[in-house]
Amino acid sequence: MHNKTVPFRFIFSALMALAVLSGMYAEELVILHTNDTHSQIEPNDRNLGGILRRKALIDSVRGVHDNVLLVDAGDMVQGTLYFTLFGGEVEAKLMNYLGYDMQILGNHEFDNGVEALASVFGKLNAKKLSTNYDFTTTPLADIFIPYEIKKYDGRKIGFIAINLNPKGMISDDNARGVKYLDGITAANATAWHLKHNEKVDMVIAITHIGYSDEPFISDVDLASKSENIDIIIGGHSHTAINPADSTSVAWLVDNAAGKPVLIAQTGKSGVNVGEIVIDLDTFDKNSRLLPVDSRYDRFEDSRLDSILAPYKESVEEFRNAKIGKTKGLKKSDWSLVNWMADYVFDEARNLTDEKIDLAIVNKGGIRADMPAGNVTKGTIMQIFPFENRIVVERVTGRQLRDALDIMARRGGDGVSKGVMAEYDAAGKCVSVTVDGRPIDDDKYYNVATIDYLANGGDYMEPLRKGEIIARSNEVLYNDMIDHLQKNKKTLKADRTLRMYPKK
């Protein structure tokens, strides 16, 4: 008896036939998703992320799967010079080149107003979804649709998009004409319609409301209060949901009927791409994070690099324009927050002859640390990218105290030198002094701040009640750049915790 080698092709064919008969190779839908990429076109300071690497990763997945869908859950803009200088033009071109299939809005898409937003989003090839914003009276009316249905191998998948309430988060001027519909109500009504009238097999909600954001609606709320939503792909809270990590927040949350809803989110700045795999026979679903790192460098697309080249040249010009020095200021140790508050206080004194009592700024307006070494125009524009202006407003002591309570509830914000505020576990200021004197509820105070906060942004509603008595004509980062060019000082600030929890 002689042994004969069986050709590999026969073994492979037999295994494939067995796989088909046993259902081992069921049809799948692979959803790749991003959120809160915040104009991070290049790798970050930890050499993670980068649009060229993301393209290589996405291409690698498309190369081995038939059904691949690419979606983004908002805030594709704001955070680097690419947006500050070009207003979303770069991001739109790149999203198109990467082949995004669906796109929803984040709050930062509104940073330059609805007209600018319409111009940028009008250039996107992706389907633009918004289920709970009414754009009827805005330039966005013809750009967005409330839901989308996709078919894969005879299966129908419905997609909806749920956004946060713009009130208090987005400047009223920047969201003018946009009407908010309750997110839970809109999601449940549309998901019911998709399941019962459109006869879809699965509903996926793409959201920009945050994973868990009390007291506002969140992904966890949406999951637990729904019956017809199967998957939530989220953004806004920058949460990296990693099913492979036992310390990660929950990725499965039971709905109102006791069935698990998969929640996915990738963190921020494009350092991960999320992958959800759906078995189109059983509708089993799994999720994981795919790190975007240097492993993909050798697969980068040179054509994409050529699209970036002219924009990158302008960005580098601003990055190299030196205007000062610093030993390093950080948001985490309050030195950068204190520096910003003190700068706003000092600059406001040039806007009016009236005495400035204090300055208030939000740490959310600071988007990066200031590394030790040379300070450039680009440094300032990247750290303070928003088109805010310094204003001085007159408020009562009661209104000032209410504003400080809001700041305390989020763990404190920036206040200028001479202000000390102690708050309790409930986020209520129990002691506040300005230049050593307690706040008098009936006295008027001249407060220097930025127009975003004065208009009630970041939920600072008490400041809307003040009277504006002075305003800078320049955007904050231009004021700062001009100041640094004239003074050529080494930037430094104290690390005193000016708003602090009660011990």
Same-domain status, 300 and 156: yes
Q: Are residues 298 and 326 in the same domain?
A: no
Question: Which of these three, 311, 337, 365, is where a domain ends?
Answer: 311
CA distances from 367 to 39, 316, 327, 360, 450 (A): 12, 19, 18, 17, 15
- For position 144, what pLDDT does the model report? 98
Report d(CA 367, CA 336) in Å as an integer. Answer: 11
Instruction: Find out whether the peptide bond into 215 is cis, omega within 30 degrees of 0.
Output: yes
Give the separation between CA 253 and CA 264, rounded to whole angstroms.
11
Domain contains 386: yes
Q: What end-to-end distance do the CA atoms of the chain give, in Å?
A: 87
pLDDT, average across residues 423-449: 97
Residue 67 Rama label (left phi>0; alpha psi -120 to 50; beta)? beta
Listed as own residue / partner, the contacts of 137-140 with beta carbons closer than 8 Å and 24 or more positions apart are 137/177, 138/114, 138/176, 138/177, 138/178, 139/114, 139/115, 140/114, 140/178
Q: Is the pLDDT of residue 13 over 50?
A: no
pLDDT at 489: 80
Q: What is the mean pLDDT of residues 26-54?
A: 95
Mean pLDDT (whole number) for 49-67: 97
Q: Where are the alpha helices (DSSP H) in 38-113?
A: 51-62, 81-86, 89-98
Rg (CA), the chain: 25
Domain that holds residue 247: 25-311
Same domain, 342 and 463: yes
The percent of the chain in helix, strand and coil, each rounded to the nearest 5, is 30, 25, 45
pLDDT over threshold 80, residue 22: no
220 Cβ neighbours under 8 A, 6+ residues apart: 211, 212, 250, 253, 263
161: part of which helix (H) or strand (E)?
Answer: strand 155-163
Average pLDDT over residues 18-27: 46
Rounded-to-integer distance, Cα 446 and Cα 427, Å: 24
Q: Is there a domain that residue 448 lies in?
A: yes
Query: Token pair for residue 475?
Result: 């955007």
Question: Residues 255, 275: one domain?
Answer: yes
**Domain tally for the chain?**
2
pLDDT band at 11 (very low <50, low <70, confident <90, very high): very low
User: pTM for the complete prediction?
Assistant: 0.90
Model pLDDT for residues 363-395, shown as the tens digit of each residue: 999 999 999 999 999 999 999 999 999 999 999
Residue 128: which pLDDT band, with cuts at 50, 70 and 90? very high
**How many whole angstroms separate alpha carbon 106 and alpha carbon 209?**
9
> Beta partners for 326?
373, 491
Instruction: Assess whether pLDDT exceeds 80 at residue 12.
Output: no
Cα–Cα distance for residue pair 364/341, rounded to 1 Å: 13
Q: What is the pLDDT of residues 183-205, one digit of tens each?
A: 999 999 999 999 999 999 999 99
Residues 105 and 253 occupy one common structural domain: yes
Q: Where are the beta strands (DSSP E) in 328-480?
A: 358-361, 373-376, 390-396, 414-415, 419-423, 429-434, 437-438, 444-450, 467-471
pLDDT value, residue 21: 38
Chain-centroid distance, C-alpha 372: 26
Whether residues 303 and 342 fall in one domain: no
β partners of residue 449: 391
- Residue 230 has a pLDDT of 98
Identify the CATH number of the domain in which residue 477 sits: 3.90.780.10
Domain end call among 311, 342, 372: 311
Confidence at 26, pLDDT banded by 50, 70, 90: low
- Tokens matching residue 391: 């204003």
272 and 356 assigned to the same domain: no
pLDDT for residue 1: 38
**Res 15: pLDDT:** 35
pLDDT of residue 142: 96
- Please indicate, yes or no, if residue 3 is contained in any of the structural domains: no
| Domain assignment present for 301 | yes
The answer to whether residues 402 and 462 touch, using CB atoms and an 8 Å cutoff, is: yes
The torsion region of residue 267 among left (phi > 0), alpha (psi -120 to 50) and beta comes to left
Q: Which two tokens stand for residue 412?
A: 């404190």
Structural domain includes residue 140: yes
Q: Give residue 469's pLDDT.
A: 97
Distance between CA atoms of 63 and 45, rounded to whole angstroms?
Answer: 30
- Is residue 65 a contact partner of residue 28, using CB atoms and an 8 Å limit? yes
Provide the residue type at 173 as one letter.
Answer: D
* Mean pLDDT across 324-346: 97
* Any domain includes 365: yes
Asked if 305 and 377 sit in the same domain, the reply is no
Q: Are residues 55 and 201 in the same domain?
A: yes
CA distance 317 to 300: 24
Is residue 269 assigned to a domain? Answer: yes
**Which pLDDT does position 132 carry in this prediction?**
98
420: which strand partners? 433
In this predicted structure, the answer to whether residue 7 has a pLDDT above a threshold of 60 is no
Residue 193 CA, distance from chain mean position:
29
Model confidence at 24: pLDDT above 70: no
Same domain, 185 and 257: yes
State mean pLDDT over 300-306: 92
For residue 461, give the nearest of 163, 175, 172 by alpha carbon: 172
Nearest alpha-carbon partner for 227 in 257, 197, 200, 201: 257
pLDDT (tens digit per residue) in 261-283: 999 999 999 999 999 999 999 99
Indicate if 347 and 240 belong to the same structural domain. no
CB 460 within 8 A of CB 383: no
Question: Is 243 within the bounds of a domain?
Answer: yes
The CATH number covering residue 180 comes to 3.60.21.10
Please tell me the distance from the alpha carbon of residue 107 to that of residue 171, in angstroms, as a whole number. Answer: 10
Domain boundary among the residues 263, 286, 311 is at 311
Query: Model confidence at 5, in pLDDT bands (50, 70, 90)?
Result: very low
Q: Does residue 487 sit in the same domain as residue 358?
A: yes
Average model confidence (pLDDT) across the chain: 94
Taken in order 132, 138, 144, 145, the sign of the CA dihedral is positive
Given a cut of 60, is residue 169 above it in pLDDT?
A: yes
